[in-house]
Amino acid sequence: MKSFKFISGLLLCLFSINMLSQIQPPAGIGNNIILWLSPDTAVFKSTGNVAAIGNRVREWHDISGGGFVFTTTNNGTRPKYVTYQGKNMLNFSGGDLLENTAISSLINGMSEFSIYIVIKSDDINTDQGFLDSENPDGHDEIICMRYDNSGANTGRTNVIKCGMQGNTSNNQVESQNNTQTNLLQCLTLTWKQGEKINLYIDGVLNESSVNNLNSVMSGVQKILLGKGPKDTGGGKGWDGRIGTVIFYNTKMSPDSVSLISGDLTSISSVQSGDWNDPDTWDCNCNPLNNDFVKINSNHQVTLTQNETVGNIIIEPQGLLDLSSNNLRLNVKNNFTNNGSLNSRSGKIKFIGTEEQMINGSSTSLFYNLHVNNNNGVRVENGNVNIQGSLYIQSGCFNTRNKVTLISNETETARIAELINGACIVGDITMQRFINVGATHWRFLTSAVSGATLADMNDDFITSGFTGSDYPNWPSAANPWPSIYYYDETVTGVQDNGFTAATNSSNLIPVGTGVWVWSGDTITGTQPFTIDITGPPNVGTINLPITYTNSGLPNDDGWNMVGNPYPSSIDWNSSNITKTGINNAIYIWNPDLQQFASYSGGIGVNGGSNTIASSQAMWVQATSSGASIQLTESCKTSTDAPFLKLNQNVPLRIKATNNYGQDELAIVFENDATDTFDADYDALKMASVDASLPVITSVMNGESFSINQLPNQEIDIPIKLLTGLSGMHSIQFENVSDFVLNSACLILEDLFTGASYDLKNVSSFTTYINDTTTVARFLLRVGAPVTINTLNPSCNLAADARITYSKNSNIPFDIIWRNNLGNVISSNTNIYSDSIMNIAAGTYTIETTDAVCGNTIETVEVIAPSQITSYFATANDTVYLNNGGNVTFNNLSTSATDYLWDFNDGSVSNQISPVHTYTQPGNYLVNLTASINSNCSDVYSHLITVEGTLSNIEEIKNNQKATAYFNNDLLTIDLADIEYDVVMIRNVLGQIVYQEKNPINRIELSVKELSSSFFLITLIGVEGNDVIKIPYVE
């Protein structure tokens, strides 16, 4: 017998250990568990026989590894194995219990603990209990938990009461009012020697004891489930269900309590599926806003709409997918990821009222992460990668040094504008992706504070300074530094200010740019990523700007600064304050090996107003006290690589040789001048590679890469230099937009005498000598041309006018031709001209002047559509005893204005009016449809008004067979009535028209018939009808 008991005990112990390895502890917190009763396993109907749903339970085995077995020897008081909302539980009724005495030796002597128990009561307003540590004796002492209808200590009602270390009120806890419920609850007791005992309900602290409890645990005889201190009778006890029971031998933090409690009562996935499909969840329901949701292993749950949740846990091999619709999941409590998150381009938004946590063993890849919680969000466990934007709308985000802003070939993550006092605490790792391209110099800076050159040293090869990869390359006597700073205070030409790095410990001060040689081979580089870790730069930042006047205005004041934020910024933003600074920025483009520049909305060689995170640039100060102040509001959601093409459309002139290209932009800007404008122009910074072409415009002795000037007639010298003689291609872009209002655009080669009409020539090649030092080309921009057209007033009118003028001091000759090519007018030595009283058609304007030579413009004169006035009515005869109302349906075309004359002294301008006649008679209604006073059409129609509708015959005559005029055309509508003969007589009674067996409609031109009215007689089998209709020629 002893041998059988030993073997059974060993098997049960091994079974418990096996179950522990299969079931994950709640919220992944498995350390320090001394008792774990799970309703999902180790539930037996008899020794060795696993219980099925509906069976009575004799044994419930601990799966913590302690080997404790909760049982009862009373067959009549065994709980029943049931489910509730998809969760396994044990259903206790009055007197049902399970107990274990062996665990008492483990609990007695403990100096701290955390106890979790999941319950669901059938009753409220009750004193029933569900946990005790001795046989019920009516006293709330040692360890016990029950519902209490009326709290003796506080006077509260419908509370949860917990005892601890003696039947003393100050050692007990009574919850707030009305915490008894018929819903699922997770109750938690935590305590540590010398501290109060705390009661949590569903993870939220509800109440604490008055006293600190200073003694270690003692007096525990057993742990009894299904009864409480007041359940002293055999038939008394818990009417309800009990789920998971866990004892920890440590006091849990409030955060851990929240996580574990939520997990124990969570809605869990039972299969892969959509979030709002009840079949996905164990509760067969859709999770509600405050629910704790768990996505189990090997399940993928996909959002189909924006959702809100309390807590969420993604178990290992589980997956939450925000779907291809890039949806939003709002989280009120904590987010725990032990599996995978597919954010796509969606967002996770934290909207709680208490501090929230991001937990888990996995790295969570968020696209957009929103923090909107005054009490903040912190990363507790696991790492967080952000690929889109981090929005901190309220509260603080504590990274705990676990957050990386990802940069790749498509985008770079950012921290959006901090608003409403929001803040970020802790370090971030800021990445910056460098695309495939040239191994060459780059302008870099740091988006975090405290960075040193060592932070870059691990991302690409460095040389020439202490701590670099090759400090003595190519020789110790003459090392080649691969990183430079710039000191504006060094006088003389601009290049004098470059200062070599001395040590990898050299700081990169906030907003300071560095000039870095980077790449992974000599000939080119594969993509690589720079990452720098530190506190992100936030708030208002003043860039380090100085100005030293050495008497060389083109070389003084240059500062190498950088975008200090972990976000792109907009150089055009009104939230950047520039004092004593030229507006132009210059960035080295390593792929073109040219300086990209940007100013006043225009960029060349890839320059843009959007300055990428970690991007450095040249700016030029122009006076002492110069400064650049950046604020959070200058950040932009427009992501940028290190360089981005500008979308404006200036005239672009590109010069290309066998080694590369350069670019010049010329723009007409009415607020600019012909001299250098600090807000619009960019001076030329030539490439450091002498083999590349250098193209500039030259104005007042200055060479420009961006030249903005007023729209005018002007000659602009264009200089093209090269370090190597040879053939060069010159291309022109956006010519049609640039010369939209100019008479001509001609490039004249002053060396060869050739001229190129850029309206017709988009590129050409020519030989450029390396000895060229002056502007070889002249860009001749014709005067702005204004052509105003006044179209004809009416369809066939000949009252149109065209006016042609040039904003120039140079006169021109002009010839006007019609669409047949015939000369209709000409003038010489004039500044403007016009032709008048012309009809619609196509006209050619040929002008000749000293700048543009001969140019031709084509103008289209368009006439309005032909107007047709017409209307219809339901009845041409109305009766005063029926109200005398006539509804006129306007069927006119191509008109905008209408004048109705109802021939009774009334008029209307409505489109389709309703008119009321008050006297019997015949009224000829006129509708004048027009577009102006010179262009109209008139339609007239007779309306007969009679006093009384008398008999059936009259109804037939006036409502069925009708007659009306449209100008000189008389139309008789027979309304499908069969007539033998139709006769029409004039005012003298003479028959002017007769037709036998007419069908449907008769139309007759009466233009040649002289009569003030016509009498229409319709003869049929059922009788004769007569219609009298007046006629006005």
Reported in sequence order, the residue ranges of 913-1022 that DSSP labels E, i.e. its strands, are 914-916, 921-932, 935-946, 962-966, 969-973, 981-985, 991-996, 1001-1005, 1013-1020
CATH topology of domain 2-261: Jelly Rolls (2.60.120)
Residue 16, φ and ψ in degrees, nearest 5: -65, -40
CA 651 to CA 670: how far, in whole Å? 16
Asked if 1018 and 1024 count as a contact pair (C-beta separation under 8 A), the reply is: yes
Q: End-to-end CA distance of the chain: give it in Å, rounded.
A: 132
Tell me, rounded to whole angstroms, the distance of Cα 758 from its chain centroid: 41
CATH classification number, 785-861, choose in 1.20.1250.20, 2.40.30.260, 3.20.20.70, 2.60.40.10: 2.60.40.10
Q: Where are the domains of the chain?
A: 2-261, 284-398, 432-634, 651-781, 785-861, 972-1033
Enter the pTM of the model: 0.72
What is the rounded average pLDDT for all residues in the chain? 90
The residues that bridge with 91 in the sheet, in sequence order, are 80, 241
What's the residue count for the chain? Answer: 1033
In tens, the pLDDT along 717-755 reads 999 999 999 999 999 999 988 877 777 999 999 999 999
pLDDT at 814: 97
Three-state SS string across 444-482, please? ECCCECCCECHHHHCCCCCECCECCCECCCCCCCCCCCC
Segments of the chain with pLDDT less than 50: 1-21, 642-648, 950-959
pLDDT digits (tens, 9 = 90+) for 582-640: 999 999 988 888 999 999 999 999 999 999 999 999 999 999 999 999 999 999 998 76
**CA gyration radius for the chain?**
46
The region, left, alpha or beta by phi > 0 then psi within -120 to 50, assigned to residue 858 is beta
C-alpha to C-alpha distance for 131 and 699, rounded to whole angstroms = 92
Q: Tell me, what's the pLDDT at 521?
A: 66
Q: What's the pLDDT score for residue 639?
A: 74
CA distance 339 to 319: 6
CA distances to 525, 616, 722 from 530, rounded to whole Å, are: 13, 14, 35
Q: What is the pLDDT of residue 233?
A: 77
- H-only helix segments in 982-1027: none
Grouping H, G, I as helix, E, B as strand and the rest as coil, residue 957 is helix
